[in-house]
A and B are shown apart, each in its own frame.
Chain A
Amino acid sequence: MRALRGVAGLALAVALGTVLAGWWTVPVMVAVWLRLWPAPARRAMIGAALGWALLLGWTVLHGPIGPLARRAGGLFRLPGWGLILVTLLFPAALAGLVAMIVGRRSATPSSARAMG
């Protein structure tokens, strides 16, 4: 349950940082979060992806994203669902790499277990 709360917290932080200042806040938020609450990389990745998924969900409430996904996806030679996937994988990749840098120093096995 604490892990779930942790992931949700990271998701909210990532979403808020993105809204306020842009995509580059994702690695910053993840780094800060991992410093405060050390956790495995997997969890950081899920949290970051979830943060952007929340924002995408908000976008869907304001207009259909299907035509846009199809057309914009084509710009990158991706199907529409592929672009949505890439949109979620990008923050996950940023978070994963940050976790590798920050996590090894701070996420000791015991603290990770404590988080879990």
Chain B
Amino acid sequence: MSRLAAALALALLCWLASGLGPVPPFGELLDPAHGIWTLSGNAEPPRSATVTLPRLDAEVRVLFDDRAVPHIFASTELDAWRTLGYVIARDRLFQLELQARAGGGTLTELLGAAALPADQEVRALGMARGAERLVAALPDTSEARRTLDGYASGVNAYIDQMRSSELPLEYRLLGRRPARWTPLQSIHVFMRMGQTLAQSGLELRHLAAAARVGTVAADALFPIHAPIQEPIQPSADEPRTIATVLPAPGAPDSGAVEALRAVPVEALARAAGDDGDGSGSNNWAVAPARTRDHAALLAGDPHLDLTLPSIWYEAHIVVPEVVDVYGVTIPGIPAVILGFNRDVAWSFTNTDADVMDRWVEQVDDTLRPTAYRLDGAWAPVEQRTEFYRGTHGETLATDTLRFTHRGPMSRLGRRWMSTRWTVLESGAASDALRAAARAHSAAAWLQAMAGFRVPAQNLLVADRGGTIAIRSTGWFPLRADSGRGDRLRDGTSRASDWIGEWPVTEYPQAVSPVQGFLASANQEPRDPRDGHRYLGADWPPPWRALRINRLLRADSQVTVDAMRQWQRDPGSARVDRFLPFLLAAAASQGRDTVLAHAARLLAAWDRSYSTDNEGAMLFELAMGAVDRRTWDEVRPGPTPSSMILSGLLDDSTSAWWNDRRTPERTEHRDEILSAGLRDGYQEAVRRLGSPDGGHWRWSRAHPVDIWHVLHLPSLSALGLSVPGGPYTLSPSSMDGGGEGSSWRMVVQLGPAVRGWGTYPGGQSGNPASARYDDRLPLWLAGELAELRFPRRPEELHARSSLRLTAER
């Protein structure tokens, strides 16, 4: 090589090593003194360290136990939240910023233009504006504001003190530095959670169905009450089925057809959502009379996106005489969200209530409206320009967002809609959580949580006195006219606005019911016999609720271990309902060898989603095929839930069974079920190979992926073997199973409170640390770790300690 060529090669290598376009700055990354290798030096926290924090009231001690959980011993609550901000920043700094940016629509500033669509969606929902308004409305002296400020000061103290070797890997890959934390970021994280839990497509689902089969049929396909009732608020003679006959598909509703023409395909796809097969949550509690040790038991497992690092972070906060609370928090939110104190334990599930409505607005200009019609006059449209910045502060794009008095406007073809969503207008949730953490009884806890407004949750609580209670809590809007929020509303009149909210006394709730247990799994909270207010529509099927209630009814000597095992129970009420019909249908179809073989395989299946079963995949593929054949009238739009399909089983000659693609004949139930089973079998053979040789084993056919938050494969845990499937108590969706039990907890409220728990992942966000995913094996095995709950620092054998002192 000539000298010139060598010089050119050297220049090129240096240029590339400095980072060029998509090539990461590998010179910097590989540098063993400053690059990624230095992360291994921070894999474990120092045995002991002392740091200073601005504005600290007194010294704070933090002891990390053998599971890397920080036990924060502080003199004031504010100090505790400052410290929590500090330790979470130390363990999860990149996740903190990513989640906040996702909720505030500023991901492009961290990730570049590729994140623009996600940011535009978030801002179009009004989340950025809503968060700004909520923060601006907080008085400086309010507890909420001071707590958010304190938490931010803790995060920023860590950022300020962080050595270069501690810079998280993700920042290095992106060539970025962490942004400073503000209270606004906490609200963004909070809103992001609200977005995750929002039930937002009701109007469009109904509209799409009405455009195909008419309003009467659409009403029945997406009803406001679940046809299978096993509600959260217990009622007599349950579970029960509300017998309904689905009206035959009717003529398309011309108004809906016209409205739907303007709806973008993507909006419809989003509205279709999923059937809740992998998402949702469970919680249940058992009164002392039905437990072996005569102490109340409580279990909770929220089903959310499984990611590395996990959405949850475990922490214990002790402020003597004030609060002593253990549980999980979401990085960015200064509160323990699910957990227990010395007297009370609690867990949540999503209520799936309808807290987001849409109004069709009449505007002065269909392209750039400046006013909308309201009670016969023109009201001004508020406009706001959104700037999307790139990683170097450059403007990538701008949007003009418009708002009516109800909320953000969105354009559907030539029409405009406005949306009102409770999450945009309420930010006091963490106040309620902090107050509830100080409660000494279930009653006091519920009283404190009366102020919890968004996102609407089914709050389950148990105390050492033996009380168990549940309440579906949130800001539930009261509407004029029909009271329903599952239809597009007329925006030209204030009469269609929300007129108030439910009083807490009317919320679905129960305290220590005679049956001795309570359970929620996102099902309709209250039987329509027991209350008539509209709370939502198209409820998730109650398959998980049916299963857990069945297990609870059958056991009057419940133990901690039974609770733990139920959290991973592989049985399915949905399978119990559908499988006999599939087998009977196959038997009715005469000599079809493929069908007979498929039926034999299904009949031999134990109906469970254990990792080694070989029938679940066939069942799921068959159900998918049945769904496609049955709901051909409304496809490719949103299809009804499996609960509606379940009701249809009892009407074997319903017009819905008929497949319109075969006009020469009229199909009935058994023909569709058997055709679906045959389709499912053939699809299974095509995708997985022959049923022999273990190819259809659930663990092999349905691996679960837990992705890193940036979707980087080597930082993810992929292809995991996990029991559970659609609608089992530990659910796993059919599209990769990326959602599931994100935190499993069981608490026994005896003379002393004891807790067990785990989540898939680890406390550290540093991939060099063993604590990055050290809890995964335990989670995969379905085991729980006992949670250390010391009253004083001396009671804990700490692996590492941190002393925080006030900055002089």
Contact = CB atoms under 8 A, between A and B. Distances in A.
Co-complex (A, B): yes
Interface in B12-48: 13-14, 17-18, 26-44
Contact of A90 (B9, B26, B769, B770): B26
B10 A22 contact: no
A18 B41 CA distance: 17
Given A19-B33, A65-B40, A68-B39, A27 B10 contact: yes
B7 A67 contact: no
B715 A74 contact: yes
A98 interface: yes
Interface string A42-85: 00000000001001101110111101101111111000000000
A62 B39 CA distance: 10
Nearest to B27: A23
Contacts of B34: 18, 22-23
A64 B9 CA distance: 34
A75 B170 CA distance: 11
Contacts of A55: 32-33, 37
A115 interface: no
Most A-side CB within 10 Å, residue of B10, B13, B29, B39: B10
Contacts of B29: 72
A104 B714 contact: no
Given A87-B37, A94-B10, A67 B770 contact: yes
Contact of A67 (B18, B27, B768): B768
A15 B28 CA distance: 14
Contacts of A56: 32, 37
B6 interface: yes
B169 interface: yes
Interface in A1-39: 15, 18-19, 22-24, 27
A59 B17 CA distance: 21
Contacts of B43: 63-64, 67-68
A114 interface: no
A87 B32 CA distance: 8
Given A68-B767, A97-B10, A97-B13, A63 B31 contact: no
Contacts of A68: 36-37, 39-40, 43, 767-768
Given A56-B37, A63-B44, A71 B767 contact: yes
A59 B3 contact: no
B173 interface: yes
A112 interface: no
Nearest to A27: B10
A10 to B, nearest CB: 16
A61 to B, nearest CB: 9
Contacts of B770: 64, 67
A67 to B, nearest CB: 6
Given A74-B713, A74-B715, A75-B712, A101 B169 contact: no
B772 interface: yes
Interface string B714-726: 1100000000000
A24 B36 contact: no
A63 B32 CA distance: 13
Contact of A75 (B27, B42, B44, B173): B173
B514 interface: no
B4 to A, nearest CB: 9
Contacts of B137: none
User: What band does the interface of chain B fall in when counting residues whose beta carbon is under 8 Å from A?
Assistant: 35 or more
Contacts of A104: 3
B32 A74 contact: no
Nearest to A70: B714
B1 interface: yes
A98 B28 contact: no
Nearest to B712: A75
Most B-side CB within 10 Å, residue of A23, A27, A52, A100: A23
B718 to A, nearest CB: 11
A28 B100 CA distance: 42
A65 B768 contact: yes
A106 B17 CA distance: 27
Contacts of A24: 14, 18, 27
A100 B1 contact: yes
Contacts of A19: 33
A73 B805 CA distance: 39
B40 A52 contact: no
A76 B17 CA distance: 14
Nearest to A60: B40
B10 A101 contact: yes
B44 A101 contact: no
Contacts of A62: 40-41
Contacts of A65: 37, 40, 768
B315 to A, nearest CB: 24
A66 to B, nearest CB: 9
Interface string B748-780: 000000000000000000011110100000000
Contacts of B1: 100
Contacts of A98: 10
Interface string B666-696: 0000000000000000000000000000000
Contacts of A52: 32
A101 B714 contact: no
Contacts of B28: 22-23
A101 B2 CA distance: 8
A71 B714 contact: yes
Nearest to B43: A63
23 contacts: A18-B31, A19-B33, A56-B32, A59-B32, A60-B40, A63-B40, A63-B42, A63-B44, A65-B37, A67-B40, A67-B769, A67-B770, A68-B39, A68-B43, A68-B767, A70-B714, A71-B772, A76-B26, A87-B32, A97-B13, A98-B10, A100-B1, A101-B6
Given A22-B33, A68-B39, 4 more contacts: A59-B40, A59-B41, A62-B40, A74-B714
- Pick the 7 closest A-B CB pairs, nearest first: A74-B714, A100-B6, A55-B32, A68-B768, A63-B40, A62-B41, A97-B10
Interface of A: 15, 18-19, 22-24, 27, 52, 55-56, 58-60, 62-65, 67-68, 70-76, 86-87, 90, 93-94, 97-98, 100-101, 104-105
